[in-house]
Amino acid sequence: MHDDSDPTLAYVRSAARLLALPLSDAQAARVATHLARTATLALLLDAAPLAVHHEPAQLYEPAPFPDVDPPAPQR
C-alpha cells in the first residue's frame, strides 16, 4: 500500500492504473513532480491580468496545397 497523502502523486498512480501503465514508485514520483510544476505554471498564467486588447492573433491556418506538384529538382 502506498502513502498517497500527496494528491498529485495519488492522481498519477490512479491514472497509471486506469491506463495500465506500469510505473515504479520512483517513476510515479518523477511524473508527479513534473505534473505539479506544470500545474504551478498554469496557475501563474491563469492569474495574469489580461485585458480584451491582449487577445492573441488569429489562429494559424496552413496554406492550401497547390493544385500541381512542383517540378522535381534537376540532378
Which comes out higher in pLDDT, residue 1 or 50? 50
Q: Where are the domains of the chain?
A: 7-46
- Give pLDDT tens digits for 5-63: 899 999 999 999 999 999 999 999 999 999 999 999 999 989 988 887 777 777 778 88
Residue ranges in 1-75 assigned as alpha helix (H): 7-18, 25-47
Amino acid at 15: A
CA angle (9 as vertex; 42, 41 as ends), nearest 5:
10
- What is the predicted pLDDT for the residue at 29? 97
| pLDDT for residue 73 is more than 90 | no
- pTM to 2 decimals? 0.62
